[in-house]
Amino acid sequence: MDRTRNLLDRLVAWSPVLMLGALAALTYWLDAQVQSAPARRDGSARHDPDLFLRDFRATTFDAKGRPREALSAARADHFPDDDSAELTSPRLSLTEEGRPTMTITAERGRIAGDRNQGDFAGNVRVERDAEPPTGDGRPSGPVTLTTESLHVTTKDQRVQTDRPVTIEEPRGIIRGQGLEFDNKAKSVRIKSHVAGTFQPQAITK
């Protein structure tokens, strides 16, 4: 009986220490759960290029072996953290059967890692080839668009910008603020401040 009582007395005496130890262990465990993984020191988390190419050219082909996308640049820097590429003097051509080719040039550009999104800046120029004459004998195009920055979705062949734009085509010149251009749907929407000259051409019978 005395031995049991002595054991209980010891446990009571050590209980604050045991509680503090358990609390410390619990605190350490909780801290370990919320701490982020330590930063890697191999440079992969930084937005630094791992390689560059000069006079870069790449072509993507469709299922029939015809060029679908052609991208070239005076220099291309690849970034491993997001698989993007920054381009100097880029030129992007998008071609699809039955539709006019659209070519984009600029002073600089950036292609996202999924290769479906691109941004171009500095003297951006978009040229869409002329189409064959329509049923009424009226040609369509060529169309030239100029602006200072442009976002491109390559798969859908859409371009958009919030900057001032100028559109030139055989019938005249149109200027405005902001634009959405769909090459597949052959549609153009200027968002605001539309102005310019537009001269309908005579129809040749």
Return the domain boundaries, the chain.
1-35, 51-198
- The stretch 48-54 carries a mean pLDDT of 87
pLDDT of residue 188: 86
Is it the case that residue 42 has pLDDT exceeding 60? no
If you average pLDDT over every residue of the chain, what do you get? 80
pLDDT of residue 62: 82
- Coil, strand or helix at 25: helix
Task: Tokens for 113, please give them.
Answer: 């890692």
Which of the four pLDDT bands, split at 50, 70 and 90, describes residue 11?
very low
> Looking at per-residue confidence, does 148 or 3 come out higher?
148
- The stretch 97-108 carries a mean pLDDT of 90
- State how far the alpha carbon of 89 is from the alpha carbons of 9, 19, 51, 74, 106, in Å: 83, 68, 18, 6, 6
Cα-to-chain-centroid distance, residue 141: 28
- State how far the alpha carbon of 37 is from the alpha carbons of 30, 32, 100, in Å: 14, 10, 50
- The stretch 25-39 carries a mean pLDDT of 61
Is it the case that residue 39 has pLDDT exceeding 70? no
Task: CATH number for 51-198: choose from 2.60.450.10, 3.10.450.50, 1.10.760.10, 3.40.50.1100.
Answer: 2.60.450.10
Q: What angle do CA 93, 196, 203 make, to 5 degrees?
A: 75
Distance CA 159, CA 147 (A): 11
| Helix (H) or strand (E) run with residue 26 in it | helix 2-34
Q: Please, are residues 136 and 203 in contact by the beta-carbon 8 Å criterion?
A: yes
List, for residues 114-137, the tens digit of each pLDDT value.
888 999 999 999 998 887 666 555
